[in-house]
Amino acid sequence: MDYQDAYLPVDPDFEDLIGKVKALNKPVKIHYFGPKDTIEVASGVLGTLTGKQDEYLNVDKMQVRLDKIITLAGRPGPAYDAYDSYANACLTCEDLGQF
């Protein structure tokens, strides 16, 4: 995937969570923001982390950028707050481009 925005560093605790989920060696579901901020889903067994500047998680034959993950196996990821801000936009009278 070709993202236009800069990669944001990911909390090391999230990388620990990836390790724990990967150790289960079971298929999981990942919700994440695609290149045009569309919500996409990847399912499968977690693979390796790749990349030097931008880190990607290999899930079967897909690559998901770490800082774009909304949920990993039902647990909040680095992009969860951005996702949640869309849900709360009407409560705060913010225009996030959703109207």
pTM confidence score:
0.83
What pLDDT is stored for residue 86 in this prediction?
A: 72
17-27 per-position pLDDT tens digit: 999 999 999 99
What domains appear along the chain, each with residue ranges and CATH number? 12-92 (2.30.30)
3-state DSSP call for residue 20? helix
Tell me the C-alpha distance between 26 and 23, whole Å. 8
